[in-house]
Amino acid sequence: MENYAAIYVQCSKADELKRIEFYLNGETRPDFPEDVPSGEAQFVEAFEFVPVPESLKILSADALAAHFYPDSLEEVKDLVKALALFKPGKLFMFFSDDGETHHYYRYQDGSLCFVFSEIPLDDSEDEKKYNRNLPTELAKTIENMDDKGKALELLAHSM
């Protein structure tokens, strides 16, 4: 298996979402700071080494989801830091490390905050051992969704 990540971003303005899409998309992402207006050089630098999504989907006028196969969790954290420069209203991430972990995070107050895990953190199947900050029914619904972008959208709307 390989690493897998998904992100969900929701913005308060449609033009902010278009800028995020521009920098995420490998076909439109600029290579050099001089290729963008002077106020956007920081975005070029922030997105320079972050992964390009395997798929990018606009979910609505103010939200998008993207799916990645990153080399590491650190690579996805760098992506989240780059996205945070746009100050989105909501930013959620899912990460699976070769199928060993299935963790959901929320970007809040300048850092990634763990929300819950689909897999017990101590290899116990005991429901009480799950580290969850969600109602059990919502967590189970999210766990059973194959499209992690949609799962993140549901999570974002519940928080």
What are the pLDDT digits (tens) for 123-159?
A: 544 444 445 567 777 777 887 778 888 888 888 888 7
Supply the pTM of this predicted model: 0.84
Residue 6 to residue 26: CA distance in whole angstroms: 16
pLDDT at residue 1, rounded to an integer: 65
b/e map 126-152, b = 16+ CB within 10 Å: eeeebebebeeeebeebeeeeebbbbb
pLDDT at residue 19, rounded to an integer: 94
> 95 exposed, middle or buried (CB, 10 Å; 0-12, 13-18, 19+)?
buried
Q: What DSSP element (H or E) covers 66? A: strand 63-68
Closest by CA position to 86, among listed 7, 156, 23? 23
pLDDT at residue 126, rounded to an integer: 46
pLDDT digits (tens, 9 = 90+) for 35-90: 998 889 999 999 999 999 999 999 999 999 999 999 998 999 999 999 999 999 99
